[in-house]
Amino acid sequence: MAGVGIRLCRPEELSDRQVRMAEQIFDTEIASILAPLAVTSPDQFPPLANQSLVIGVRLRTPGGSRYVVIPFGSSTPRLLTMYAEGGHAFLLLEDAVAMFVDRMFPNEEVLECLPFRITRHAEREVREDRAGDLIALLPDAAQDVPTNDCIRLEVDDRATQAFIDFILAGSHVTTMCVFLIPGPIDLAGFAPLYNLPGFEKHKYSAWPPQAPPDVNLAASMFDTLSRRDIILHHPYDSVDAVVRLVEEAADDPDVVAIKQTLYATDRDSPVVAALKRAAENEKYVTAIIELTPRFRDPPRLEWARALEQASVQVIYGIRGLRTHAKLGIIVRREPNGIQRYVHFGTGDYGQAAARLASDVSLLTNEEELGADATDFFNAVTSHSYGRSFRMLDVAPSGLRIRLLDLIQTEKQRKLAGQKAFIKAKLNALGDRQIIEALYDAAKAGVRVLLNVCGFCCLRPGVPGLSDNIRVISIVDRFREHSRILYFHNGGDERVFISTADWTPRNLDRRVELLIPIRDPRARRRLIQILNTYFRDNVKAAVLKSDGTYRRPKRGPNSKRVRSQEVLYQKAVAEVQRMEQSRRTVFEPHKASDTKR
């Protein structure tokens, strides 16, 4: 940052003028806002908010030391503006507190004054079987969320062991969950720097979502889907086609029902607005909304109640499970009978999220998938378990078994002398059975390529165990959230999209979907997307057998491949190609056009 004129000052680097400025800010603002909390024993440790920055202070006493914690509120600015002759200078709030904290404790010696942060488990356990009305339960759950189990402690690496032990005793974090941070904690606090004026040339160039070239939003989505399936790769392809389908359904007189899952969406979601309008237009609308203490935010409760008030039949998930499947079904009466138009997605129905994360949507009118989607939705709303499906695989009932079977099939084909290949793009890999099956297949000679954005418990490249497995992780401007699976299957390639990561949480404790892609053109596109990711040599990091990640080495003649950039450029090129083809369509004059 210093190279472009943004300087983060350490206390010892401040000029006299800057010290006086920091002192004034502390005396007039910080000291008035912050509230020191004495901790006399571990059981008196305050319920600190999840992922909030806290200052810990150790003070000398005649018999040893005592501790005080100072939580930072969400309204407290993290970056304090300092005087600078050129550019911008900032001082971290925690450094300002450390400089003048002795004023809060006159006649006491400050031994340590350091920041720390705890992370709590997001999936709070709630006895849903004792709650007749989950909405009524949520406000109470929201009040005691700070007592959730602590699963991570981040602390300044200058902390003494006594300081760390104090936090461990009070927060009940295990030692294996302690992370010593050699720099600022919670880098999200630097986000305001993005909005500083004059730095536009240092920001990412705009990559606006493109209109899918094979979707004419001015035409009927029902006509389009009756001819072919559509694969959308967000955020390169806009979500407008998905929204347009629901909005068209809300006003179409031939649509008789809409069934929709809503795991997460925007406050002013056009999908929610369309569902309300559809119900007001006397269509049978059912929505499955995931309402758990993790998603207890008031906007979610507001639009859930608004849907109910509009006569939408709202189902608040399944007790004991999280409904993570992303699904929308439109039932339409047509001359040839009832038709189902379905949206399957790997991401949520929020337009804001769709601009930040990579996800895949399938829009289809395929009969068997439509029938399965309807059966699945009805099984969730009726709590009917054990149902079998034609094309879909569902967690927690059978998705893991299906994955193990697909992996085993590749192994058997390799042992039979055939080509065998597995490619998968996931958020996380931590299921023991899946990992052991992949090891087993790799030992048989199956080539396995994995793109795992988050944690990966598999160790690739171990001689005799996982030589044939390569794992990459891509961190770029968009969060890689989509799940795409490929199995060579003796040349009869099988391609799937899924809402599930390969973890026990997803396969055992969530309602998830594995969706086969049957349309040949859609399959080809997803394979191309997978291959683009695996060619990345700019933003990809390769997981080594020792658990470290390394950038792939590029040879002097190697082409630079940044997968997200390639995918966006391809989306733009496809739109330009389609626009050019439309301009060059020759339309002859009709006889009436020549009449004067």
Average of per-residue pLDDT values in the chain: 89
Contact by Cβ (8 Å): 360, 284: no
- Residue 479's region, left for phi above 0, alpha for psi from -120 to 50, else beta, is beta
| 344 CB burial (10 A radius; 0-12, 13-18, 19+) | buried
Token representation of residue 330: 């439109």
Mean pLDDT of 381-395: 85
Q: Which of 158-167, 350-359, 458-467 has the lowest mean pLDDT?
A: 350-359
What's the pTM value of the predicted model, to 2 decimals?
A: 0.84
**Residue among 178, 182, 181 nearest 167 (CA):** 178
CB within 8 Å of 74: residues ≥ 6 apart? 52
Percent of the chain with pLDDT over 90: 67
- 487 vs 129, more confident: 487
Nearest to 433 by CA among 465, 408, 450: 408
What count of other Cβ atoms lies within 10 Å of the Cβ of residue 343?
A: 25
Residue 158 buriedness (CB in 10 A; 0-12 / 13-18 / 19+): exposed
What pLDDT band is residue 596 in, cutting at 50, 70 and 90? very low
Amino acid (1-letter code) at residue 432 = R
DSSP line for 264-311: SB-TT-HHHHHHHHHHHTT-EEEEEE---GGG--HHHHHHHHHHHHTT
**Pick from 473, 411, 472: nearest CA to 445:** 411
If one compares 551 and 353, the residue with the highest pLDDT of the two is 551
**Could you please report the per-residue DSSP string of 342-408?**
EEEESS-B-HHHHTTEEEEEEEE--HHHHHHHHHHHHHHHHT--S---SS-EEETTTHHHHHHHHHH
* Residue 151, amino acid: I
3-state secondary structure of 71: strand
Tokens of 5: 């004129």
Domains of the chain and CATH, by start = 2-202 (3.30.1840.10), 221-390 (3.30.870.10), 394-581 (3.30.870.10)
Q: Is the pLDDT of residue 63 over 80?
A: yes
Residue 3's CB: how many other CB atoms inside 10 A? 6
Residue 23 CB-half CA count within 13 A: 9
**Confidence tier at 127 by pLDDT (50, 70, 90):** very low
| HEC sequence for 567-582 | HHHHHHHHHHHHHHHH
Whether 324 is catalytic is yes
Residue with tokens 């590029």: 554
Task: Let me know: does 387 contact 379? Beta carbons within 8 Å.
Answer: yes
Element (H, E) at 152: strand 150-156
pLDDT at res. 513: 96
pLDDT for position 143: 41
The CA distance from 461 to 414, in Å, is 19
* Other beta carbons within 10 Å of 584: 7
Q: Is 574 exposed, middle or buried (0-12, 13-18, 19+ CB in 10 A)?
A: middle
* Percent of the chain's residues with pLDDT above 70: 89
pLDDT value for 140: 43
pLDDT digits (tens, 9 = 90+) for 131-179: 344 444 444 433 444 445 788 999 999 999 999 999 999 988 888 999 9
Nearest Cα to Cα of residue 455 among 587, 549, 355, 380: 549
Average pLDDT of span 279-305: 77
**CA triple 138-146-44, angle to 5 deg:** 135
Collapsed DSSP state (helix, strand, coil) of residue 187:
helix
Q: Which of 2-6, 85-89, 150-154, 538-542 reaches the highest mean pLDDT?
A: 538-542
Give me the catalytic one of 88, 233, 234, 324: 324
CA distance 195 to 210: 25
pLDDT at 242 over 60: yes
Output the pLDDT for position 138: 42
What tokens appear for 90 in the block?
A: 């900032």
Round to whole Å and give the CA distance between 464 and 77: 53
Residue 128 pLDDT more than 70?
no
- Give me the phi and psi of 57, to 5 degrees please: -125, 125
Whole-number Å distance between alpha carbons of 538 and 551: 8
CB 507 within 8 A of CB 433: no
Per-residue confidence (pLDDT) for residue 141, from 0 to 100: 38
Q: Per mean pLDDT, which range of 59-68, 334-343, 363-372, 429-438 is the poorest?
A: 59-68
Distance CA 523, CA 535 (A): 19
Is the model's pLDDT at 299 over the cut of 80? no
Backbone φ, ψ for residue 86 (5° rounding)? -150, 140
pLDDT score, position 585: 55
Interatomic CA distance for residues 533 and 124, integer angstroms: 35
